[in-house]
């Protein structure tokens, strides 16, 4: 299992366009992928509604997890999206 903790840098947090890009990237993988706000309950990173429901704002920390072959690369890509300004 791969896991990264990332601070969200975007002014809009993980909403709108950053959330869509995040979910689209997660959905391309055949792996199980979750994202959680801080130490909260993880949600399916492939669901735009689930990701938006986290209400992630600039400066919040998220934990991204994936399991399976290629999990490290996928988590790195998602962490890059979440930490992009």
> Would you name the residues annotated as active-site residues?
15
Query: Cα dist. 38→28, 51, 56 in Å?
Result: 25, 13, 9
**Look-up of token digits 């130490």:** 39
3-state secondary structure of 4: strand
């Amino acid at each position: 299992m791969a896991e990264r903790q990332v601070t969200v840098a975007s002014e809009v947090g993980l909403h709108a366009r950053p959330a869509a890009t995040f979910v689209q990237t997660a959905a391309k993988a055949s792996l199980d992928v979750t994202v959680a706000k801080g130490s909260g309950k993880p949600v399916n990173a492939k669901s735009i509604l689930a990701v938006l429901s986290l209400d992630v704002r600039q400066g919040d920390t998220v934990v991204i997890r994936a399991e399976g072959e290629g999990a490290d690369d996928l988590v790195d890509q998602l962490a890059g999206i979440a930490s992009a300004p």
